[in-house]
Structure 1
Amino acid sequence: MDGQENEQQESRDGQAPQAGRTRRFTLRGLTGGRRGWRVLRVTGVTLAVLAVTLAGVMIGALAGGRVSTDIGPFQADLTVSPALDGSTTVDVPPLGALLLDSHDGPTHLTVELGALDQSRTEALLDDPASISQASRTAVDDVREGVMRLGVRTVASTVLVTLVLALLVFRDARRAAWAGGLALAVTAGSLGTAAATLRPSAIEEPRYEGLLVNAPAIVGDARRIANDYTRYAEQLQHIVGNVSQLYTTVSSLPVYEPDPDTTRVLHISDMHLNPTAWQLIRTVVEQFNIDVVVDTGDITDWGSEPEASYVGAIGLLQKPYVFIRGNHDSGRTAAAVARQRNAIVLDNTTTTVAGLTIAGIGDPRFTPDKSTSPAGRGLTRETADQLISTGDKLAATVRSSPRPVNIALVHDPASAGPLAGTCPLVVAGHTHNRQVSKLPQEPGQSPTQLMVQGSTGGAGLRGLEGEQPTPLSMSVLYFDDEDKLLQAYDDITVGGTGQAQVNLQRHIVEDPKAGAPAPVTPTPTR
């Protein structure tokens, strides 16, 4: 018995330490596991908060990091977005962009120049002093826009992050942490950009698009700006003389228009010259114009910002018949068509003031090309394209239910196929006024071709020579019965160094034969 009791006691004594050690090991393992799980959980939550914060900052910046502001005559959109390197892009549609290494930090600023306000542009051109004032205020305009952009971006990123964090975590504390981090990240990024701003970067831009040619033309641009200031000053006085000139011309006994005579003003190649609208309005009023026909190139690049330029059409309060030139885009034509008194022709006809007019737009869209004499400097492919355009319009003229009195093309190279289809074809494009008869086949009726100069003085490009291109337009007089051209007045407004208004009256001796028009004495002021 004693032996058995001793064995049992030894057995119990031997097992007790093992059980105790096992229990202590299990508690240590459990404690260590909980601590490890807590670390993993905190790490996971932290990473989740960071991820939500970064997502909120990205979404908030893309959604709310945009403001609109006025910079001089332009309406500009300022946009900030996350980026690996700090920089600024100035978009000038459709010319291209300027890329500036303007600052450091993970933010990219985009300045996109948008619509050009016509009234402010005309005010700048009319008052040379306001141009320098606008250049001074432009810096303040940009600074004020950037400040509003920064405040808006911070508010947007914090708000979006808070909302996103509440949706993901459903916990106010974690959402508050995410919002605070978003504020720190956004404010820190914008602060870094402001602290490292390099104003001198504007002097060393990189160019994209058509602006790659900008460095080569800066010198010419400065000279052109100076010439244009003098040009605009003189035109203010010249335009006023048109009324006096009209009084002199109307007293000439050579040609006295009948009260029922239809008067058509032919203009072309405005090329965004705002001063030309004032001259056109004066001629429309003084010469009692019934219809204005425009043979294209009303803009320079056919871009959306240029569309505001055509708003002056409605001020004429006369029917305005338009065809596209090679500098006009589909957007340009659409902007013209939106004017209540405008009619855009594209291989179509219209009847206005008793005249049936057919027209077709230029088949090309080449805003980067300069003008060329009719039929010269054209590739075979382009020449065929222009002739094909004339063929299309000729077919439309022949199928018209009413006899066509005037056909409109932009490039005179398209006029050939119209010989014999109508008595008069008008064109533009060359910036050089010419009148001739189209070659005709035996038995065909004569057709006269009238090519207009540039009513806008070829725009700014017209100032590149020693003397600016003069502003040209013509008043065409049609009889009431047959709607044939009886006479026309060529009006020329000289530019810098040629401060005068010149008018030449031409009488068509035999309208049915398309006889050349002799020139009458030319009043000049």
Structure 2
Amino acid sequence: MDDHENEQHRAGDTTPPETGPARRWTAWRPGHRLRRVGVVLALLAVTLGGIVVGTYAGGHVGTDIGPFRAELKLSPSLTGGTTVDIPPLGALLLDSHDGPAYLTVEVGALDQGRTEALIDDPASISRASQSAVEDVRAGVMRLGLKTLASAVLATLLLAALVFRDVRRTAWAGGLALVVTAGSLGLGAATLRPQAIEEPRYEGLLVNAPAIVGDARRIANDYTKYAEQLQRLVGNVSKLYTTVSALPVVQPSPGTTRVLHVSDMHLNPTGWQLIRTVVEQFGIDVVIDTGDITDWGSEPEASFVGSIGLLKKPYVFIRGNHDSPRTAAAVAQQPNAIVLNNSVTTVGGLTIAGIGDPRFTPDKETSPAGSGLTSAVADQVIGAGEQLATTVGKSPRKVDVALVHDPASAGPLSGLAPLVLSGHTHSRQVSKLPQAPGKQPTTLMVEGSTGGAGLRGLEGEKPTPLTMTVLYFDQQKLLQAYDEITVGGTGQSQVNLERHVIRDPAKGDQVPVTPTPTRGPSESPSPSSSATSPSPTTTG
């Protein structure tokens, strides 16, 4: 007997139970229909809830894309699409597919081991770029399978708790399988690879069109540059090997070798060049006179992680593109020293430095090399005066003073024999006006070690990458310096010019016979040759 018959029997009702059409009507009377509709709605709600919970809980996987560790995530969505987070530049929003699944790709920090392997073997950069697409495809496949399994499992658990019925739990699990697989299939079926050509920007990338102009041309140039990077590094190594045979480049055992870099502007290529020069030239200390980043934002802080790979003392001052959080990120590196109106001793050299008093990353408000307004000039010169006071009070004689903008160097005349700066993206060596009875002071302005970053691609001729190796004798006086210049994006020319100072007090130099050098290729060519010309007199 069914429930209705049992109730009649317990009540003493001897009326025969309904049969045939009457019974079917009883089964489908309005109350029963509402109950069945409620069960179906509850089943759908539990299934959708389980899918959402399972997707958020398990819809993510980690994968390696080249030297990067990336996190792939799926989340429910009404419209579909993809977000690619690329620190420190920001994010790309792509209309990549339809359907109720949204993909997020978060590119994490560099893996130290894989990064070192890429630096040690430049050819692996090409292999990594070729495998990147396959890495992403494999990661997305694993993500889809994991999301499917997680959604079904979460739905089964939720249905078992709600219904406590095996049949309804199985229905919920099967429905979750169909809905999740169908959503993923819809995304795959509506995939639009061409969406990568028309992204929307977020974060720092919003400023990209205004900063760099034609993005496609720059992308093509940068690809060309990456292809020639191995040749560039080889040229630098060959240059040092050849030039080191000259009598003037045999540094004495007590020589301190300092590498001066400046204005990296987020160009990752600069790090590989720095690493090569540090190793090939036996650098003792690296000095960075600022603008290591472009906008001083928190995502850009990850760029400074390569400092630790150098394994040499790294002395840094802020530029006008570096924020306090940039300086803090540099200070966290195990080998870094950040100076801000302070003095330190590294490698036997006493170094004083102060950061740029401005924070003006916007190109429109502070173009490199632009003239200074009266208020800004007072601010910049005031920074030099602050450092001059600190140098004057230092118990130890300061050998090198650091400022970002050469306009800050004037007050340091006579207080230190050498002042290093950057900011203008143009290399220059000159003497500061000498006060009577004061020691002469040389001002060395570095170009851009990062080729001015993306900004360096704006002109017809890319900005070259520059850095300078400084040689200090046992008395910590500058005796010689090598100016290294690497052709900008798309170029592979490398030049090294050596300048040898005989008497720092007079600025005299030893004449050197020009010695031709050749890059790693057996025959010289306009794109892969370099020369070591006769030294020019330091002004």
Shift of 1:83: 1.2
1:475-490 to 2 correspondences below 5 Å: 475-481=469-475, 483=476, 485-490=477-482
Distance of aligned partners of 1:522 and 1:218 in 2 relative to their CA distance in 1, 3 Å threshold: farther
Distance of aligned partners of 1:183 and 1:379 in 2 relative to their CA distance in 1, 3 Å threshold: farther
Answer yes or no: is 1:221 the counterpart of 2:219.
yes
Distance of aligned partners of 1:105 and 1:384 in 2 relative to their CA distance in 1, 3 Å threshold: farther
Distance of aligned partners of 1:430 and 1:175 in 2 relative to their CA distance in 1, 3 Å threshold: same
Distance of aligned partners of 1:363 and 1:48 in 2 relative to their CA distance in 1, 3 Å threshold: farther
Partners of 2:123 and 2:453 lie apart in 1 by: 16
SS in 1 for 2:153: helix
Q: Partner amino acid for 2:169? A: A
Structure 1 counterpart of 2:207: 210
Structure 2 counterpart of 1:503: 498
Larger radius of gyration: 1
Distance of aligned partners of 1:397 and 1:166 in 2 relative to their CA distance in 1, 3 Å threshold: farther
SS in 2 for 1:247: coil
Structure 2 counterpart of 1:102: 96
Structure 1's unaligned 5+ residue stretches are 1-22
Spell out, residue by residue over 1:2-45, the C-alpha distance to the aligned partner (whole angstroms, 9 max, x if none).
Answer: xxxxxxxxxxxxxxxxxxxxx99xx99xx989955444444334
Q: Partner amino acid for 2:207? A: L
Structure 1 counterpart of 2:5: none
TM-score (norm 2): 0.75
Structure 2 counterpart of 1:343: 337
Residue pair 2:209, 2:215 contacting (<8 A) in 1 also = no
Structure 2 counterpart of 1:138: 132
Which of 102, 106, 122 is 1:112 aligned to? 106
Partners of 1:281 and 1:54 lie apart in 2 by: 53
Structure 1 counterpart of 2:485: 493
Shift of 1:224: 4.5
Q: Partner amino acid for 2:219? A: A
SS in 1 for 2:396: coil
Identify the range of structure 1 (146-155 vs 446-455) with the bigger mean alpha-carbon deviation.
446-455
Shift of 1:245: 0.7
Which of 147, 153, 156 is 2:141 aligned to? 147
Partners of 1:282 and 1:134 lie apart in 2 by: 20
Distance of aligned partners of 1:281 and 1:508 in 2 relative to their CA distance in 1, 3 Å threshold: farther
Partners of 2:200 and 2:302 lie apart in 1 by: 29
SS in 2 for 1:102: coil
Higher helix share: 1
Spell out, residue by residue over 1:295-348, the C-alpha distance to the aligned partner (whole angstroms, 9 max, x if none).
Answer: 233455667787676555455443222223344455654554444333232333
Identify the range of structure 1 (238-247 vs 307-316) with the bigger mean alpha-carbon deviation.
307-316
Q: Partner amino acid for 1:226? A: K
Q: Partner amino acid for 1:156? A: S
Structure 1 counterpart of 2:284: 290
Distance of aligned partners of 1:489 and 1:382 in 2 relative to their CA distance in 1, 3 Å threshold: same
Answer yes or no: is 1:521 the counterpart of 2:512.
yes
Identify the range of structure 1 (79-88 vs 311-320) with the bigger mean alpha-carbon deviation.
311-320
Structure 1 counterpart of 2:531: none
Structure 2 counterpart of 1:12: none
Shift of 1:153: 1.1
Structure 2's unaligned 5+ residue stretches are 1-13, 518-539
Q: How many residues align?
A: 485
Structure 1 counterpart of 2:65: 71
Q: Partner amino acid for 1:98? A: L
What is the RMSD of the two structures over their aligned residues, measured on CA atoms?
A: 4.1
Residue pair 2:248, 2:500 contacting (<8 A) in 1 also = no
Partners of 1:197 and 1:463 lie apart in 2 by: 33
Partners of 2:313 and 2:375 lie apart in 1 by: 35
Shift of 1:70: 2.8
Q: Partner amino acid for 1:493? A: T
Q: Partner amino acid for 2:235? A: H
Identity %: 61
Residue pair 1:248, 1:523 contacting (<8 A) in 2 also = no
Partners of 1:504 and 1:85 lie apart in 2 by: 63
Which of 153, 165, 168 is 2:159 aligned to? 165
Residue pair 1:321, 1:344 contacting (<8 A) in 2 also = yes
Residue pair 1:228, 1:463 contacting (<8 A) in 2 also = no
Identify the range of structure 1 (185-194 vs 285-294) with the bigger mean alpha-carbon deviation.
285-294
Partners of 2:493 and 2:188 lie apart in 1 by: 51
Structure 1 counterpart of 2:45: 51
Residue pair 1:303, 1:331 contacting (<8 A) in 2 also = yes
Spell out, residue by residue over 1:343-369, the C-alpha distance to the aligned partner (whole angstroms, 9 max, x if none).
Answer: 232333222233222223344555664
Partners of 1:182 and 1:263 lie apart in 2 by: 66
TM-score (norm 1): 0.76
Residue pair 1:503, 1:522 contacting (<8 A) in 2 also = no
Shift of 1:180: 2.8
Partners of 1:249 and 1:470 lie apart in 2 by: 29
